[in-house]
Chain A
Amino acid sequence: MLEIQNLTKIYPDGTVALRQVSFTVEPGEFLVIIGLSGSGKSTLLRCINRLIDPTEGTIRWDGTDVTAAESAELRRIRRQIGMIFQQFNLVRRSSVLSNVLAGRLGYVRPLPSLVHSFPAADRELAWKALQRVGLTEQAAKQARELSGGQQQRVGIARALMQQPRMILADEPVASLDPVLAHSILGYLEELNRLDGITVLCSLHYLDLVQRYATRVIGLREGRLVYRGTKEDIRRMTDAQFKEIYGEEAVRTSAGLQGRS
């Protein structure tokens, strides 16, 4: 479904964010990317839908070369890939409904959408998406009036509006407390299992990785340093852990089952 080969990103200031990263994503996976802050997780996710242009390497989406896609084709690819963010990235002063409808922008005719006019079917879809994340009562509120967990659910509803085949989730729970984290990841798991949407998610906490991932890759200083299955993660050793999180990492026992 998604094939990444030798992906390298060097920022204009010389920072090398990704070095020769290659991996593939199979349909229906819940693939989690782990790694320290600054290890290149966000850059990797943003290269996939070209929010960031990679310096080298190829990304293939269903056989189409994303890196070579021109604007119209790129937009067609983007609309199939939903994205949710650590900071939710909602328009805080727009209504919840308007934020959700924005997820449909890649499908609707551009001109009417500029004056917030959407087809009735899309409004219906937005309502269903809000129903799914349990926020129909908040539809008319401004996004900033919602709590963090609610905002992230709006983010999920916005991604749902794209009727995506894959969702990219950039640290979706890093700004939330553990209880909310499980709630949000629960929604993603449901989409993954019930709707068959492939999820590509970066996470910080190992216990969450163990709970939700079907496969894991680890990044360190832009290099892909770890590939493992759900079982591998459960049995992760200190050596592997330090390989990903560096020598200074202190392993907390929380939620970890594998010990050396």
Chain B
Amino acid sequence: MAGRNKRNKQEAGRREPPPPLVRPAAAAVASLLVPGLGQILDRLVQRGLLLLGSVVTILAMLGWRISVLAHREPTAWAMLAKALARRPFFIGLILACLVGLWVWIVADAARLARPVRDSRGRPRRGGFGIFVLVLFTFFALGWQVSQVDPVRMVTEFPKALTPLGRVVWPWQAAVVRETVDRQASAEVQTPCTDNPPPPAVEKPGQPFLLADPTCGELSALDTAGTLLPGSTLTLTGRGFAPDSEVKLYWVDPLGNEFQLRQEGRYLSVQADGRGAFQTKVIMPYRLFPGNPGESSLHQVVARQIASLGRLRASEPLLLTIERMVETIFMGMMATLFGILFAIPVSFLAARNLMSGSWLTMGIYYAVRTIMNIIRAIEPLIWALIAVVWVGLGPFAGIIALTVHSVASLGKLYSEAIEGIDAGPIEAVEATGATRLQTIMYAVVPQMIAPFVSFSIYRWDINVRMSTIIGLVGGGGIGFLLVQYIRLLDYRAAGIAVWFIAVTVAVLDYVSAEIRAKFV
């Protein structure tokens, strides 16, 4: 009974709000002139200020968007008209919201000036809808300001397909075949003499090229500038890689080599299933003058560059693995240094250890403040500074992660120290132990578990962070990733992304398992 009476009394106390200062009409007029003023006069100061702030902010945002849309127009009205013409839906919507809100605020001020009570006799504040409208207006503004464009997202999606596909499944680029160079050549004499070079001799198992005949005339221009085609040679090749392309080159006596062309196109033939081919070529235009009356030896070369050798890991794969290892070690080193520095810092930041005197409390607050500031600055920004300091590379990343780790581990450790149970300390002291023994037997065992747990958690975070710290030059796999992205090599980038994802996932699992063992 007693409790019930008490509660009733409390409710009664709440039931009597101070009466409004003005009549409903006056409140409405006040809110019409300055939105929210009516509510303030109704003694609802917070509500009034909130509404006034909302209207002012919406007006300011609207003004800004209009000035962006129509900054060249001379007058305010012209600007508004122009902005409405350019973005009728958006500007119209915000204007409608603003007018609706204003009207609502006026009605709200009038309503609250004559306190209406609900069935239980409490004054009704209500007006939940008014704040929904305020929120809606802000989100509409936010939509426009942040350039949300779902239509574009859908229509332009095909552009993303290629890179997306390559990133999602990059493994074609993870292995390459060694290239194999196969070539054979045949000598061609020009002009023909009585003893043309003998045809090449075929050796089993090796590529072989036969030119028939082994001498002929090069193409030339006559005095009128008309092209006189040279002799046609029949080239027969054997012993090449089956079913792959063979390119044909011409080598003049000086050793200049160029790919043979016919009617403007490079000549290439396809070796058949047994690695043989036959084709006809017209001897090319003379590039070097040669001595009149003397004959010279040219060569025709058939060459095959086929990726037919052994499979081996591609350069991006090898580099990614190398960088990934570097990244994991970066995270480890940063965690190690972080722990080493964080332990002494954490003692200075533990309230229960530092509450002794005015001076130690001063140190406590100073250390806490500095740690909070350091933690508020992202490792990426620390990395930017460290890169200037020690140059590009993993060491810069380690410095950045260490700085952040010290601050964050220092805080976690100090909270672990603050959470120490004083009971065992008192019990060990009571046995006649010295101060040092008390610390070793009552304090240290209590701190080991949280220290290990937090340190492993931080190692996990540091490895994850070191995968992106390379984006700003801090070494590790991020450095490689950003290079591949800039080169638009999405397959290589995809390999890096896969390695990061798998490493982070494995680490996440492992660290959770280890921590579960300790907590």
Instruction: Answer whether A and B are interacting partners.
Output: yes
* Cβ B430 vs Cβ A78 within 8 A: yes
Within the complex, what minimum Cβ distance (angstroms) separates B218 from chain A?
93
Total B residues in contact with A, Cβ cutoff 8 Å: 21
**Residue of A76, A81, A92 contacting most chain B CB atoms (<10 Å):** A92
Which chain B residues in 431-462 approach chain A with CB under 8 Å? 431-434, 436-437, 440-442, 445-446, 448-449
Question: A82, A87, A92, A102: which contacts B428 (Cβ < 8 A)?
Answer: A102
A162 CB–B CB distance under 8 Å: yes
* Cβ A91 vs Cβ B446 within 8 A: yes
* Cβ B442 vs Cβ A49 within 8 A: no
Total CB contacts across the A-B interface at under 8 A: 85
If the complex has contacts A51-B426, A102-B441, A113-B437, are A158 and B446 also in contact, measured as CB distance less than 8 A?
no
Q: In the complex, A94→B440 CA distance in Å?
A: 11
* Cβ B433 vs Cβ A102 within 8 A: yes
Question: B432, B445, B448: which contacts A106 (Cβ < 8 A)?
Answer: B432
* Cβ B427 vs Cβ A83 within 8 A: yes
Contact code string A164-183 (vs B, CB < 8 Å = 1, else 0): 00001000000000000000
A85 CB–B CB distance under 8 Å: yes
If the complex has contacts A105-B437, A113-B437, A114-B437, are A89 and B432 also in contact, measured as CB distance less than 8 A?
no
A40 CB–B CB distance under 8 Å: no
Considering the complex, give the chain A residue whose CB is closest to the CB of B447: A93
If the complex has contacts A89-B424, A110-B436, A110-B437, are A83 and B430 also in contact, measured as CB distance less than 8 A?
yes
A79 CB–B CB distance under 8 Å: yes
Q: In the complex, A102→B438 CA distance in Å?
A: 9
Question: Within 8 Å CB of A88, what residues of B?
Answer: 423
A75 CB–B CB distance under 8 Å: yes
Question: B432, B436, B437, B445: which contacts A78 (Cβ < 8 A)?
Answer: B432
Contact code string A217-245 (vs B, CB < 8 Å = 1, else 0): 00000000000000000000000000000
Question: B423, B441, B446, B448: which contacts A87 (Cβ < 8 A)?
Answer: B423
Considering the complex, give the chain B residue whose CB is closest to the CB of A94: B445
Q: In the complex, A51→B15 CA distance in Å?
A: 53
* Cβ B423 vs Cβ A89 within 8 A: yes
Within the complex, what minimum Cβ distance (angstroms) separates A211 from chain B?
26
Total A residues in contact with B, Cβ cutoff 8 Å: 35
A35 CB–B CB distance under 8 Å: no
Interface residues of B (CB under 8 A from A): 421, 423-424, 426-434, 436-437, 440-442, 445-446, 448-449
Write 29 A-B pairs (CB below 8 A) sorted by A numbering. Answer: A51-B430, A75-B434, A76-B432, A77-B432, A79-B431, A79-B432, A82-B431, A83-B431, A85-B427, A89-B423, A89-B426, A91-B424, A91-B441, A91-B442, A92-B421, A93-B446, A93-B449, A98-B441, A102-B427, A102-B433, A102-B441, A103-B431, A104-B431, A105-B432, A105-B433, A107-B432, A158-B427, A161-B431, A162-B432
Interface residues of A (CB under 8 A from B): 46, 49, 51, 75-79, 81-83, 85, 87-94, 98, 102-107, 110, 113-114, 155, 158, 161-162, 168
Q: Identify the 10 closest CB pairs spanning chains A and B, nearest first.
A: A106-B432, A79-B432, A89-B423, A105-B433, A89-B427, A78-B432, A75-B432, A83-B430, A91-B424, A94-B445
